[in-house]
Structures are given as structure tokens and as C-alpha cells.
Amino acid sequence: METHFQKELQQLKEDLLKMAALVEEAINMAVQSLVKTDSDLAKKTFEGEDKINDMELAIDDSCLKLLALRHPMAADLRFITSAMKIITDLERMGDQAVNIAERAISLNQEPQLKPYIDIPKMAEITQSMVKDVLDAFVNQDPKLARSVCERDDLVDGLNDQVFRELLTFMMSDPQTVTRAVHLMIVCRCLERIADHATNLAEDVIFMLDARVIKHHADVKKEGEGNIS
Amino acid sequence: METHFQKELQQLKEDLLKMAALVEEAINMAVQSLVKTDSDLAKKTFEGEDKINDMELAIDDSCLKLLALRHPMAADLRFITSAMKIITDLERMGDQAVNIAERAISLNQEPQLKPYIDIPKMAEITQSMVKDVLDAFVNQDPKLARSVCERDDLVDGLNDQVFRELLTFMMSDPQTVTRAVHLMIVCRCLERIADHATNLAEDVIFMLDARVIKHHADVKKEGEGNIS
């Protein structure tokens, strides 16, 4: 029979997945508001952020209660303290989605600089990273966590590509500078979300394998080889 | 008389300050290696990172032991779980210092693009933010934490300024693009360290005041208004 503590842990897992789903949704709304020139969608991102912030506080509180009342040991203790770190990252990812939405509102007021192809691609990969790293944590799946780390290179690659393209626009026509800078910030926000997901994935791998993957050179370091 | 638990908490505080000091030193070495064209100093940053990583693992372990063996309650419990989040941020700041050192090594092989004035200024402010946010946490000082949040605007302002300057170089002379991009990355790393410190400061304020400052608009959001 499931104990009360096991039920509480199960609830914690469900809450974590729910919070990650809200972050994914926020990223999607923010980027779609740009792609579809729909500033109302951008405003919905702000409401989504409120929900994410509320969930962070609620989960943090639940974890403190579990620590104070259940005195978990070994793997359960590690799981709960890791959950507390993860929600901090999820909340910061939500902040980045809001930053994207703010840029989308500005960009939507001006003619589109170029067709948005790589940015939705970056967003799609980034969302999959957020989803999968939480699944990897909850289901204790180091292989899935590793695939999240690998996807960070794809995001960095797309980011470099967009950055170079935008630089060309800026150099050939100063009229495009403001829009190009807004778009660079959008890409940087996506890249930071991907960085957060990668950091979490490294923590999951470390937790599961007790291998200090994050401190070795086999995973590309955060921020290497790209700029915006 | 001081209990054994109080001594352990005191040790934790000292370790946190020591880890922060290592991060400050890493930032300083990385930026000075650029300013003084001294690539040996850059290599010392890599050694410093090893120490930072070791401290993260050791402190995390101590915190888990405190939770498992001492069953702390209320403020002590919150302090220990916050410490576990803080060391994650400190470790990521160390990664950024390494990124700066790597760029410095590349930049030191070419003629200096421009005198480095704003970058050391950014580094100085960023180091003070790292130091002060840990002092604010350990000494439970919300006022000091607030001053850290305020300094983030200074770093963002300098970052914007350097970015615009470098953009001008790139536009007027394509020969400068590679060096300018390296310098933009250096600035972005410093700005990210400042972001980490600001996030921590918001957490400290929240912990001390139980006021959700981080979720309201009175603190400038991470990444707003700047690019690199």
C-alpha cells in the first residue's frame, strides 16, 4: 500500500511536470505572438508568468514541509532538494518568456524584418528540452537528460546563424538596427532557456550517475561559441 | 553555549563566503588576463574553477547531511535549502569566468581593438555584487541585497554602451568583427554573472522580507534593455 509520504512525493512530481508545462506554454505563446503578429498572445504570456511564479512558491513551500515533517533520507532527500533547485530554474525560464513577449509587442508594431524561420525552430527545440529534462528528472532517466544536453548545441548553432544574418542586415541598412537588436534579444532569451534546461540536465545526470559530468569537458560549456 | 548544530551552521556560512571569494577571484583573474594581456592568468582561472566545483559538491553534501541528521526547522531549514540553491548559482558564475578566460586567450593573440575601460568597470561592479549578495545572505541584510539589485542596472548600462561601440567598429571595418564578437561575449558573461547575483539578491530579499519582490515590476527584469 502506498504511504502518505509516497503520495506526497507523487504529488510533487505531478506539480513539477505541471510547472514545466506552463513554462513550455509560455515560450510557445511568446514566440507565436511574434510569428503570428498577435500581441494579445504576448499579453497572455504575462498571465502565464503569474501562474508560474505562484507554482514556484507553492512547490517550494511543499518541499519545505516535506523536509520538516517527513525527515526524508537518501534518494528522497536528494530528490526534494533537487526539486527546489529545479523550480528556481523554471521560474527564471518563465522570466525569459516574458522578455520575449515584450520584444514581440515592440516588433509587431513595425514591418517584419525577415520571415521568421529559425526562431520558431529554436523555440521548438527549447520547449522540447524543458519538457524532456523534467521527464528525465521525474522518471530518473539519465539517457533522456543526456539528449537534452546534446540539443543545446543545436540551439547555439541556430542562434549563431540568426546572429550573423541579423548582423548583415544591420551593416547594410542602419534602418534595421532596432528591429535586429530586438530579434537578437529574442534569440538570446531562447538560448538562455536552453542553457537553464542544460544545467538542469547536467544536474539530473549527476544525481543519477553520481558522475560529475558538468565539471568535465565532454559537455559544451554554457555560452560557448555564440553571442546573442 | 554554542551547540554542535550552531557550529555546523557557522561552518556552512564560512564555506559559502569562501566559495563566493573564489568566484570573485575567478572573475578578477579572467578580466585581468585580458586587460594585462596575460594568458597565464587566464589559465589560473581554469584551476580556480576546479576549486569552485569541488566546493559546490562539498557544501551540497554538508547541507544534505545537516538536513538528514539535524532535522532543522523554520529559519534554519530555509537557510540550508537556500544555501543549496546559492551554490548552484555560484558554480554557474564560475563557468562564466572560465568563458571569459577562454575569450581572453584568443583576444590576447591579436592587437587590442580598443583600450579596455568599461569592461574592467563592469567586472568590478559584478565582483562587488557577488561579494555583497553572499554577505547579505549570511548576515541576513535585506538592505545590502537591495543594493545588489540596483547595481544590475549599472552593469546592463555599461553592457549596452560597449555593445553599441563594438557594433560601430564592426560596421566600419569588417576586420574587427572577430575581436568585437569575442569582446561582446566577455561582456555577456559579466552581465550573466550580474544576473545570477541579482537573482540571488531577490531570493535573499524574499526570504528575509517574505515579500515577493522578484515577481513584481519594481526590479528590472533579467536581460531587459540590453543585448550581448
Residue of B nearest to A169 (CA): B171
Q: Please check whether residue A159 is in contact with residue A122, taking contact to mean a CB–CB distance below 8 angstroms.
A: yes
> Using CB atoms within 10 A of its CB, is residue B47 exposed (0-12), middle (13-18) or buried (19+)?
exposed
Give me the DSSP letters along B21-49. Answer: HHHHHHHHHHHHHHHTT-HHHHHHHHHHH
Flag whether pLDDT at B211 surpasses 50: no
Instruction: Compute the C-alpha angle A28/A30/A34, nearest 5°.
Output: 110
In angstroms, the separation between the Cα of residue B58 and the nearest Cα of chain A is 13
- What residue of B is the nearest CA neighbor of A74? B68
Q: Which grid coordinates are listed for B46?
A: 581554469
B184 to A227: CB separation less than 8 angstroms, yes or no: yes
Across the range A132-150, mean pLDDT stands at: 96
CA A210, B73, A86, A133 dihedral sign is: positive
Query: What is the grid cell recorded at A98?
Result: 516574458
Residues of A near B (CB-CB distance < 8 A)? 50, 53, 57, 63-64, 67-68, 71, 73-74, 77-78, 81, 84-85, 88, 92, 95-96, 98-99, 102, 167, 170-171, 177, 181, 184-185, 188-189, 192, 199, 203, 212, 214-215, 221-224, 226-228
Q: What CA–CA distance (Å, rounded) separates B183 from B118? A: 11
ipTM above 0.90, yes or no: no
User: How many CB contacts within 8 angstroms connect chain A with chain B?
Assistant: 100
CA distance B36 to chain A (A): 23
Alpha-carbon gap, residue B204 to B208, rounded angstroms: 6
Q: Which of A78, A96, A221 sits opposite B64 (nearest CB)?
A: A78
In angstroms, rounded to a whole number, what is the distance separating the alpha carbons of residues B31 and B25?
10
pLDDT at B2 over 70: yes
Percentages (nearest 5) of helix, strand, coil residues in chain A: 85, 0, 15
Q: Distance between alpha carbon A211 and the CA centroid of its chain, in Å? A: 23
- pLDDT digits over A123-135, tens only? 999 999 999 999 9
Which residues in chain B touch residue A215, judged by CB atoms under 8 angstroms apart? 50, 53
Query: Which residue in the set B167, B203, B227 is minimally distant from A228, CB to CB?
Result: B227
> Does pTM top 0.80 for this prediction?
yes
Q: Do residues A158 and A188 make contact, with C-beta atoms less than 8 angstroms apart?
A: no
The answer to which of A114-128, A145-159, A187-201, B212-226 has the lowest mean pLDDT is B212-226
How does residue B220 score in pLDDT terms, banded at 50, 70 and 90? very low
Give the tens place of pLDDT for each residue, A23-52: 999 999 999 999 999 999 999 999 999 999
Provide CB contacts within 8 A for A190, sequence distance 6+. A27, A31, A96, A100, A119, A122, A123, A126, A155, A159
What is the rounded average pLDDT for all residues in chain B? Answer: 90
d(CA A127, CA A122): 9
Of B225 and A118, the one with more pLDDT: A118
Judge whether residue A219 has pLDDT over 50. Answer: no
Give the max Cα distance, chain A: 69
- Report d(CA B171, CA B186) in Å as an integer: 19
Q: Kindly identify which residue of chain B lies nearest to residue A86, measuring between CA atoms.
A: B85
Question: In this complex, do A95 and B184 lie within 8 Å of one another by their Cβ atoms?
Answer: no
End-to-end CA distance of chain A: 52
The answer to whether the CB atoms of A215 and B53 lie below 8 A apart is yes
With CA atoms as reference, the chain A residue closest to B226 would be A185
Find chain A residues with C-beta within 8 A of B26's C-beta.
none
Is B65:B83 a contact under the CB 8 Å cutoff?
A: no
Cβ <8 Å between A223 and B50: no
